[in-house]
C-alpha cells in the first residue's frame, strides 16, 4: 500500500515550504526516518524524513517548487519493489480501455455497407 509523504507543519505560523533538494530519487529504497528531502521556509531549513520504509515511486513536488503544509510531496511503496511504480498501472489500465473501443467501432463499420 502506498504511503504519502506530506509537508509537515514546521512552525506555528508556517503555511508553506519550498523543496530545496531531493535526497532520494524515484526508484530509490528508503528506510523509516531516513532523510528524504530538504525544505526551506521563512523560519527554518530542515530535512523531511521518510515516514515509511519502501521505494520512492513518485515525486510530486519538484526542487524549487513551493507546497502548502499538508500537501503530498512524494509517494513511497511499502512493498519494496521498484516495479510497482504508481505511474505504471494507469498505462496498463488505459491500454485495455482503448482496445475494446476499436473492435466495437470496426464491426459497426462492417455492418453499414
Q: What is the pLDDT of residues 69-97, one digit of tens each?
A: 999 999 999 775 544 444 443 333 333 34
Specify the pLDDT at position 91.
Answer: 34
* CATH number of the domain residue 72 falls in: 2.40.50.100
Any domain includes 99: no
Specify the pLDDT at position 110.
Answer: 53
Q: Is 71 helix (H, G, I), strand (E, B) or coil?
A: coil
Any domain includes 33: yes
Specify the pLDDT at position 113.
Answer: 56
Any domain includes 100: no
Q: Determine how many CB atoms are found less than 10 A away from the CB of residue 36.
A: 22
Any domain includes 21: yes
Q: How many domains does the chain have?
A: 1
CA end-to-end distance (rounded Å), the chain: 51
pLDDT by residue (tens digit) across 47-73?
Answer: 999 999 999 999 999 999 999 999 999
Among the listed residues 65, 70, 71, 59, the one whose alpha carbon sits nearest the alpha carbon of residue 26: 59
Any domain includes 69: yes
Residue-number span of the structural domain to which 16 is assigned: 2-82
pLDDT by residue (tens digit) across 10-56?
Answer: 888 999 999 999 999 999 999 999 999 999 999 889 999 999 999 99
pTM for this prediction: 0.68
Amino acid at each position: 500500500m502506498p504511503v504519502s509523504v506530506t509537508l509537515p507543519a514546521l512552525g506555528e505560523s508556517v503555511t508553506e515550504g519550498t523543496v530545496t533538494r531531493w535526497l532520494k530519487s524515484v526508484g530509490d529504497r528508503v528506510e523509516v526516518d531516513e532523510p528524504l528531502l530538504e525544505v526551506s521556509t521563512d523560519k527554518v531549513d530542515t530535512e523531511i524524513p521518510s515516514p515509511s520504509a519502501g521505494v520512492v515511486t513518485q515525486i510530486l513536488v519538484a526542487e524549487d517548487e513551493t507546497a502548502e503544509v499538508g500537501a503530498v510531496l512524494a509517494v513511497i511503496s511499502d512493498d519494496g519493489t521498484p516495479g510497482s511504480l504508481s505511474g505504471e498501472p494507469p498505462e496498463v489500465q488505459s491500454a485495455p480501455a482503448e482496445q475494446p473501443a476499436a473492435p466495437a467501432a470496426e464491426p459497426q463499420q462492417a455492418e453499414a455497407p
